[in-house]
A and B are shown apart, each in its own frame.
Chain A
Amino acid sequence: MQSLLSKDFFTLFGLPISYHITSADLTARFREMQSAVHPDKYANATSQEKKLSVQMSAHINEAYQTLKNPLSRIHYLLTLKGIDTQDKAASPDPEFLARQIELREMVAEIQIAQGPRKELAQLLSEITENISTLQTTVSKELDVADDSGLLNSAHKHYNELQFLYRLLEEVRDIEEMLE
């Protein structure tokens, strides 16, 4: 049991340690493992087994959620490679900062103007496009095993991604309010 709990999440699911995992494989492994440990399968077991099953099932849920979501998967990969994401050392590109301000202004304008639908949709697609490009970049950086320069760059891009995901949520909030 201890050995299972201490394995990294990729190894736990029998997957290679990489950004590029097949989501169908992940889901299939997740279901197989939950079928073996879920508390519903231990409703009649001894109290020891019940306790273990809740622990294991929660652990597998956490592992699955971490790997399923691209942003948390990147974060987890950075942590595995020894990068402390709390560390603010990775300073952002001036270019990205400028872009960040620009995007923020666009969001504010739409909010004030009670959001013309067309512009809102455009902004949404622009953000999602940016996210997808950045994810491709980060995934390549992470796949090169231990190049510290590339890892730092991946860390920086992760921070940018984090910003974009937050912005995406904000725009969706506005969209929801306008409906």
Chain B
Amino acid sequence: MALFEISEPGEAPSTLPHRRAAGIDLGTTNSLVATVMEEVAATIGDELGQHLLPSVVRYRADGSPLVGLTNQQFIHDDPLNTISSVKRFMGRGVEDIQTLANKFPYEFVHAERGMPRIKTVAGDFSPVEVSAEILKALKVRVEQTLEGPLDGVVITVPAYFDDAQRQATKDAAHLAGLKVLRFLNEPTAAAIAYGLDQGAEGIHAIYDLGGGTFDISILRFSKGVFEVLATAGDSALGGDDIDRAIAEWLLEQADIGADADHKRLQEVMYHARVAKELLTEQDSVELTIRRPDGTDWHGQMNRAEFAEQIKPIIHRTLAPCKRVLRDAGIELRDICEVVMVGGSTRIPLVREMAGKFFHCEPHVDIDPDKVVAIGAAIQADILAGNKPDNDMLLLDVIPLSLGIETMGDLVEKLIPRNTTIPVTRGQKFTTFKDGQTAMAIHVVQGERELVRDNRSLARFELQGIPPMVAGAAHIQVTFQVDADGLLSVSAKEQSTGVETGIVVKPSYGLSDGEVEKMLRDSLTHASDDVNIRRLREYQVEAERAFNVLQVALNENGEQLLSSVERARIDTALDALQSVRQGKDYLAIKKAMTVLDRVSSEFAERRMNASIHDALTGHKVNEFSE
């Protein structure tokens, strides 16, 4: 292999230049960013050497929000404006938050539909915007280290996140100005970090108990392919609940009522967290809690008391463990390894109970806080194109069944849980009134039979159905879940071939218009300008499209294209070349659309050729073994 390549000025490169890529673990309690440098993936620290960025955002009346470590103290001083554990609110509705809100001090602004907002001195913010602040802080950190703008990131999400939670994360990344290469499930990221692909072939369980979410995944690794067999979990179960259980115990011991003010409750939560952390190393811990009347409570908590309080919470992780085995179609004895991920797996009782359930000693070699970010960085490096020889393949699944509402509040399942993604399913619909031109499809996610027991994702309104008599229109609706686990819907009337327009009304998310507005709002406060940012995005995208196609043409343009076809693509490339550094984003957009169109046939032929090669050709190294 050539170590470097010399290309003449103006000549097309035969490989893509090295890209700045990073992996981001956007956690409930802490977030991290990692990148691959000189073949090693590592997390990146701040100027003080702290790698964990607490997922805490403090809004101020004047000035930009503060993110991270220095905020811990403000949780006591300024609880209403200091937002923590925001991940638990992502993609959640008002009613979900009302049950959670009793346990959080913030004031929520209740929107009549969609995503609730949190009231602060700097204005009302949605969980998406709060998460975007955390992402922006991590972006700055990694861009300083890499000395330049990021080309792409991989962001991890709990495997058990539903579509609304994933969409919310996607919106946050968009607001933060990140180009997302892939959303990767956290347990899968951990498996990559552990290099399970380097080791023995077999079936592994990944037990991931984080600050606010629990995931259990069963992965099979064989011949370079990671296959997620099944995943289960609880997207609202984690270290937060442990803290709360300890806090309740402390309140009881100190004889403080649960009606104490926010500040007091936050303080007790803080002591609970400290006690939890100390008890992973020590057998007992001394505590002092200030009561509302100014007197102090002094006391002790030992490991046995701690275990007694948290056992019911950890026990809740075992039901998903049982279910995942059945869904994966395997027996306990098939599992060769259990990997522990997430800060909460530091607790000895968690390791003990998980180990006992799976009948094996859990793996804890990599720091459970960092392992997910490291795996994401490795995947980002590969997806960005920095590892062209890597042939690792990841096959993930959809965690919860997708269905549509039918008559009588019933759900018809379209895509069952644990189906390998990407996946598409078609469904035919017809009109029931003469001349009907629109209809709505309600998509839900979950395992229950009644619509109201599942999570409502969105209502898709099909518009522009050609008017016909009732029952004559045949509308083929295609539901697609991509490799990020994100749903999209398209529809076509079959007799006329008319594509129907679709308006998406997310139940708990943001519409595209709302995201756009937030982007504008956030940028007017900053020194940035929305037009400059958009132009830059198009310039980057154009450069990428230009380079990618050049590489593709060098690879097999000769074999796959006639001279006429080649000339057409070259013309479009020249047209893009002449505008891509310019100031007119519309011109760039137009040139890219043209290029897309004239190269679509080439794209198809390339894919056909690569499938053909996969089935008939063998790589040289297979013969040299």
Interface residues of A (CB under 8 A from B): 1, 3-4, 14, 29, 31-40, 43-49, 52-59, 61-62, 64-65, 172, 176, 179
Structural contact, B326 and A176, CB atoms closer than 8 A? yes
User: CA A54 – CA B544 in complex, angstroms?
Assistant: 20
Q: Does B615 contact A (CB under 8 A)?
A: yes
**What separation, in Å, do the CA atoms of A61 and B397 have in the docked complex?**
11
CA–CA, A17 to B600, complex, Å? 32
Q: Using A40-B182, A43-B383 as known contacts, say yes or no to A53 and B607 having CB atoms under 8 A apart.
A: yes
B599 contacts which chain A residues (CB < 8 A)? 46, 48
Measured in the bound complex, the distance between the Cα atoms of B614 and A56 in whole Å is 14
Contact of A39 among B384, B422, B549, B552 (CB under 8 A): B422
Closest residue of chain A to B547, judged by CB? A44
B181 touches A43 (CB 8 A): yes
Given contacts A44-B383, A54-B480, A65-B420, 20 further A-B contacts (CB under 8 A): A1-B608, A4-B608, A14-B615, A32-B615, A34-B395, A35-B391, A37-B607, A43-B182, A44-B16, A44-B384, A46-B545, A46-B548, A46-B549, A46-B552, A48-B596, A48-B599, A48-B603, A49-B603, A53-B607, A54-B483
A3 to B605, CA, bound (A): 11
Q: Is B393 an interface residue (CB 8 A)?
A: yes
Given A1-B604, A40-B483, also A61-B182 (CB < 8 A): no
Task: Name B residues whose Cβ lies closer than 8 Å to a Cβ of A.
Answer: 16, 152, 181-182, 223-225, 322-323, 326, 382-385, 391, 393-395, 419-424, 480, 482-483, 544-545, 548-549, 552, 595-596, 599-600, 603-604, 606-608, 610-611, 613-615
Instruction: Knowing A34-B393, A58-B423, A61-B420 are in contact, say whether A39-B613 is a contact too (CB < 8 A).
Output: no
Q: How far is the CB of B427 from chain A (nearest CB, A)?
A: 14
Contact of B611 among A33, A46, A61 (CB under 8 A): A33
Q: Are B611 and A56 in touch, CB under 8 angstroms?
A: yes
A58 touches which of B382, B424, B544, B548 (Cβ 8 Å): B424
Q: How far is the CA of A73 from the CA of B152 in the complex (A)?
A: 41
Residue contact A61 to B421, C-beta cutoff 8 Å: yes
| Across-interface contacts of B225 in A (CB, < 8 A) | 31, 34-35
CB neighbours (8 Å) of B395 from chain A are: 34, 38
Complex-state Cα separation, A52 to B603, whole angstroms: 8
**B393 to A37, Cβ gap below 8 A?**
no
If over half of A's interface residues share one DSSP class (helix, strand or loop), that class is named, otherwise mixed; here it is helix
Is the beta-carbon distance between B607 and A1 smaller than 8 angstroms?
yes
Are A31's CB and B544's CB within 8 A? no
Distance in angstroms between the alpha carbons of A49 and B545 in the assembled complex: 11
In the assembled complex, the CB of A82 is this many whole angstroms from the nearest CB of chain B, namely 21
Q: In the complex the two chains form, is A176's CB within 8 Å of B322's CB?
A: yes
Determine the chain B residues whose CB is within 8 A of the CB of A54 once the complex forms. 422, 480, 482-483
Query: A36 near B326 (CB under 8 angstroms)?
Result: no
- Check if A43 sits within 8 Å of B614, measured CB to CB: no
- B548 / chain A contacts, CB cutoff of 8 Å: 44-46
CA of A46 to CA of B600, assembled, Å: 9
A126, B572: Cα distance in complex, Å: 67
A43–B384 CB distance below 8 A? yes
- 24 of the cross-chain contacts (CB-CB < 8 Å) are A1-B608, A3-B608, A4-B611, A29-B615, A33-B614, A35-B391, A35-B614, A38-B393, A39-B422, A39-B482, A40-B393, A40-B483, A43-B182, A46-B552, A46-B595, A46-B596, A47-B596, A48-B600, A54-B483, A58-B422, A59-B424, A61-B419, A61-B420, A64-B420
C-alpha spacing A6/B16, complex, angstroms: 34
Contacts of A31 in B (CB 8 A): 223-225, 393
Minimum C-beta distance from A67 to chain B (A): 13
Q: Is the CB of A49 within 8 A of B322?
A: no
Measured CB to CB, the closest approach of chain A to B220, in angstroms, equals 10
Nearest B-chain residue to A28, judged by Cβ: B223
Q: A34-B395, A43-B384 are in contact. Are A57 and B182 (CB under 8 A)?
A: no
Residue of A nearest to B593 (CB): A47
How far does the Cβ of B264 sit from chain A's closest Cβ, in whole Å?
Answer: 42
Closest B residue to A29 by CB, please name it: B615
Kindly name the residue among B16, B322, B323, B603 whose own CB sees the greatest number of chain A CB atoms within 10 A: B603
- CB–CB B423/A32 < 8 A: no
Give Cα A169 to B63, complex, Å. 59
The CA-CA distance from A31 to B615 in the complex, in Å, is: 10
Which among B223, B385, B419, B483 has the greatest number of chain A C-beta atoms within 10 A?
B483
Question: Which B-chain residue is minimally distant from A43 (CB atoms)?
Answer: B383
Of B322, B482, B606, B607, most A-chain CB atoms within 10 Å: B607
What residue in chain B is nearest A35 (Cβ atoms)? B393
Q: How far is the CA of A172 from the CA of B323 in the complex (A)?
A: 11
Q: Which residue of B lies closest to A64 (CB)?
A: B420
- Which chain B positions have C-beta within 8 A of A53? 607
Query: Once bound together, how far apart are the Cα atoms of A10 and B608, in whole Å?
Result: 17
A49 to B225, CA, bound (A): 22
A residues in contact with B424, CB < 8 Å: 55, 58-59, 62
Task: Indicate whether A52 sits within 8 Å of B596 (C-beta atoms), given known contacts A33-B611, A44-B385.
Answer: no
- Known A-B contacts A57-B483, A176-B322; A52 and B545 likewise in contact (beta carbons under 8 Å): no
The reply to whether A36 and B483 contact each other, CB–CB distance below 8 Å, is no
Residues of A within 8 A of B391 (CB): 35
- Given the known A-B contacts A43-B384, A54-B482, A176-B326, are A49 and B393 also in contact in the complex, defined by CB atoms under 8 Å? no
* Complex: chain B residue closest to A61, CB-CB: B420
Residue in chain B with minimal CB distance to A54: B422
Given A34-B395, A48-B600, do A43 and B611 touch, yes or no (CB 8 Å)? no
* Cα–Cα, bound, A127→B423 (Å): 31
Whole-angstrom CA separation of A4 from B608 in the bound complex? 8
Report Cα–Cα, A48/B152, bound state, in Å.
19
Contacts of A61 in B (CB 8 A): 419-423
Which residues on the B side are within 8 Å of A36 (C-beta)? 607, 610-611, 613-614
Which 6 pairs of residues, A with B, have the shortest CB-CB distance? Answer: A36-B614, A43-B383, A48-B603, A39-B483, A58-B422, A1-B604
Give which listed residue, B152, B224, B607, B615, contacts A49 with CB less than 8 A. B607
